[in-house]
């Protein structure tokens, strides 16, 4: 049996929390780092006017908000691996063995055997020829773009792509053409605009985080010129979609020859860091050409250890994906039955865009009354006015899921059933 690169650390002791939040003693020690609250008379902008109020995640699927424990459907920790005991033990063991930080770029003296081990394990998990780790998921797309700058005639990008892809598009050094969200027809028109000798690169999310829908990569590859490539940001699809959890391409059954897949370890894998999946030649070029890679400090080694444990869990515990898929299917079917509109599949994300501020306020009140934190967010790719995004996990209980469904039943009947009757009446009067 293969030995783990990190040894088993001590078990969680009584009084400590296995949920990923800081233990009681450590939390008290951190009190001195809390910023002072600015008074209204000081004239300074209060931090909460710029960011949402702070939340403390507890017990894996709950948060503390103003002293109240609420069910939590925010974030995208789809398997709650950030609080899995095995992942936390690996992190603590890595911390005690290796410290916090290598304090140098991998291109100088910061390359460590653990980083290369995680790259090999990720390549095995995703069936990729090679993998390059970077310090965060956002950086992964920038590293690819810096490396391949000058190699393409046009960038074709979905209009609702993640902000990291929008930034990466600027680095390719060629004209940028946006096309309508998830529209193969609009993509075909964009390809036609490129001309017969074009070598375009397509930039798109795999599983879109704002609505849970999947990019039609199969149709895109049929339409893309043979000289073109695809950069797919699969931050939300990796670990979740596909028979083996390899992401959007596996889910759609498309070949990977022309795909460059970027992922993050902060979603399904519950940790932190980013990775680029591609060929050996691409890895060598990224190391040689990307300033973002060569000039940045790599993932802290305790997080690399946590990543190794998370990959092992997703490889060996197939029940995690089956449970998440079952929960996703059950909840979305139940919402459709009560009349909730626009519940896309297959992602474990349920979006809701309020029609007006009153509807948003009403839903917030009903969620709080049901003991659910209202995940109202402003996020790139979503509507500028904000929207609700409910992210399901494999660890939500049936009672939590039932409570969420019950909140939407009356809203669906009051809002959309009435609209449907009115529409049928109008059609009948014509």
Strand partners, 352: 388
Distance CA 104, CA 297 (A): 6
Write down the pLDDT at residue 7.
Answer: 42
Write down the pLDDT at residue 34.
Answer: 45
Write down the pLDDT at residue 345.
Answer: 72
- The C-alpha angle with vertex 77 and arms to 206 and 320, in degrees rounded to 5, equals 90
Write down the pLDDT at residue 381.
Answer: 65
Write down the pLDDT at residue 19.
Answer: 37
Could you give the 3-state DSSP secondary structure of residue 96? Answer: helix
DSSP run (H or E) holding 294: helix 291-294
Contacts of 188 (CB under 8 A, 6+ apart): 223
Distance CA 395, CA 327 (A): 9
Q: Residues 294-323, buried b or exposed e (16+ Cβ, 10 A)?
A: bebebbbbbbbbbbbbbbbbbeeeeebbeb
Encode pLDDT of 265-318 as tens digits: 999 999 999 999 999 999 999 999 999 999 999 999 999 999 999 999 999 998
Encode pLDDT of 130-151 as tens digits: 999 999 999 999 999 999 999 9
Could you give the dihedral angle defined by the CA atoms of residues 175, 181, 186 and 192, in that order, rounded to the nearest 10 degrees?
Answer: 20
Q: What is the mean pLDDT of each run of 10 residues along the chain (430 residues)?
A: 42 37 35 42 50 90 95 97 98 97 95 98 98 97 98 97 96 97 97 95 95 95 96 98 96 94 98 98 98 96 98 96 95 87 80 88 95 90 83 98 91 60 47
Helix 301-316 to helix 85-98 angle (10° resolution) is 150
Distance CA 85, CA 19 (A): 8
Q: Is the distance from CB of 141 to CB of 166 less than 8 angstroms?
A: no
């Amino acid at each position: 049996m293969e030995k783990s690169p990190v040894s088993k650390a001590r078990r969680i002791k009584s009084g400590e929390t296995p949920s990923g939040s800081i233990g009681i003693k450590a939390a008290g020690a951190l009190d001195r780092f809390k910023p002072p609250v600015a008074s209204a008379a000081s004239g300074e902008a209060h931090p909460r006017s710029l960011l949402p109020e702070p939340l403390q995640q507890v017990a894996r699927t709950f948060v503390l908000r103003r002293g109240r424990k609420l069910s939590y459907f925010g974030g995208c920790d789809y398997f709650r691996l950030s609080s899995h005991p095995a992942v936390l033990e690996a992190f603590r063991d890595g911390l005690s063995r290796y410290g916090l930080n290598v304090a140098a770029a991998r291109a100088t003296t910061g390359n460590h055997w653990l980083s290369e081990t995680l790259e090999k394990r990720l390549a095995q998990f995703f069936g990729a020829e090679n993998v390059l780790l970077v310090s965060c998921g956002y950086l992964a797309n920038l590293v690819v773009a810096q490396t391949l700058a000058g190699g393409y005639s046009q960038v074709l990008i979905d209009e609702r792509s993640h902000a990291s892809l929008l930034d990466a598009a600027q680095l390719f050094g060629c004209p940028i053409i946006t096309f309508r969200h998830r529209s193969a027809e609009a993509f075909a028109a964009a390809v036609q605009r490129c001309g017969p000798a074009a070598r375009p690169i397509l930039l798109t999310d795999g599983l879109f985080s704002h609505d849970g829908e999947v990019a039609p990569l199969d149709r895109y590859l049929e339409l893309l010129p043979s000289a073109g490539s695809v950069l797919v940001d699969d931050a939300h699809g990796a670990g979740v979609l596909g028979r083996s959890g390899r992401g959007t391409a596996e889910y759609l059954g498309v070949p990977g020859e022309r795909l460059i897949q970027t992922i993050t370890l902060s979603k399904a894998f519950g940790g932190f860091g980013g990775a680029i999946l591609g060929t050996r030649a691409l890895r060598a070029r990224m190391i040689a050409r990307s300033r973002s890679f060569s000039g940045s400090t790599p993932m802290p080694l305790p997080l690399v250890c946590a990543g190794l444990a998370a990959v092992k869990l997703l490889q060996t515990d197939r029940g995690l994906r089956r449970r998440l898929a079952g929960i996703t299917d059950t909840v979305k079917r139940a919402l459709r039955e009560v009349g909730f509109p626009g519940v896309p599949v297959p992602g474990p994300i349920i979006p809701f865009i309020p029609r007006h501020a009153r509807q948003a306020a009403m839903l917030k009140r009903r969620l709080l009354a049901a003991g659910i934190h209202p995940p109202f967010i402003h996020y790139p790719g979503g509507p500028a006015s904000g929207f609700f995004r409910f992210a399901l996990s494999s660890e939500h209980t049936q009672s939590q899921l039932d409570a969420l469904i019950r909140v939407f039943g009356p809203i669906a009947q009051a809002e959309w059933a009435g609209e449907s009757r009115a529409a049928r009446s109008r059609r009948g009067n014509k």
